[in-house]
Structure 1
Amino acid sequence: MVSHRWLRPRLNSNEAHLDSIDNQKVKVINEFIKWRRHLVTLIHGFVPQIFYWIDFCCIDQYDIGPAIPLLPLWVACCERFLRIETPDYSKRAWCRLEPLLSYVFQFANHHTIIRLYFKYSSANFCYGKEINMLILDPLEDKSTDPNDLARIKPIIDLTKTIQIEKRREKVDFGKATIKCFFIIIKNKLVHE
């Protein structure tokens, strides 16, 4: 799953787009695919096929209502969680909801975090730096469409009732954490 902040959010679906005009996000996802293939080849000895679930491509943007209750299922089907962080990522309701859903429903025990300027380098390959990130309440932040908060509330309520694996804390916003790996390039953290 790719969690990201839309770079051109708008209430009008015809004007909204997840990426910049110069396709900055598509480029960084392609760079990450190269990195991930390199990592899996080093560790497991094979080159994996990689598929991503991305909201813009997988949800009808003209009628998102029917898709919202399915988000936990889609997240549970994803093997990994890639977070493309922008300066306001953690201030967006949807960007808080996706890590929460991953924490509760996904079997991956960590997230991978990159920034929009991430570049793969086989000559300067790195594994990333491990940190813990807080799980934050999606209802306490912003959404382009104010109706979205009411749409996602039932899912947030569900996350509070689910029995989580033994190795994870119960959801307690602002206290529960998930392990993350920030990918480092040229001795510079991708997350600053």
Structure 2
Amino acid sequence: MKTIKKTILALTLGLLYSFSSNAQDQSYNNMLKVGFNVGAAVPTENASANVGVDLGYQYLVTPGFGIGIATGYNHFFGNQNDGIDNNDFGVVPAAAMFRYYPKQKGFYAGAELGYGFITGDKYVASNSLVERPDGGVYFKPELGYHNIHWNFALQYTKVFTGDTGTIGSQDYSVGSLGLGLTYNLPLGTKKFKE
């Protein structure tokens, strides 16, 4: 798993470097969005925090509205809760992406909706035989600031898993509140010069 994370990070940095000079002087209606996020688990029953890499493709239907697809990897750090040694786990989303941009620069709102695949150890905790869920409905609303090249956002990430993974009074929770930073790499047809 560590090799996969290092490979994703290396590819992300390579893409950022190779497209950065082109992105500085042109704007496109198609873009690849590459980003990072960090957050605190909400609630904190079985996880304490998360870090992740985001990858998406966006098409601007109008200058103020974009649609696309999103994926990535979020790593949640397990914590100890009343004698339960919760394991780390990951979430790989497969989601539709929606963005609303009232102006070319400034406030924006968005959401991702799809399915979140949960990866990691088979069991919720190292001292339990309760199996973790395989995934659930994925939802990620965000509010932030954008310009042509960058997005800065406050994000809430949630995977709805139902009752799967419950140990005693501890529900299995996959959710976090955090911050995201995304860089837009231009693709496709040029719409205008900056």
Give the TM-score band, short-chain normalised: under 0.3
Higher Cα Rg: structure 1 or 2?
2
Q: Indicate the structure with greater helix content.
A: 1
Q: Relative to total residues, which structure has the larger strand share, 1 or 2?
A: 2
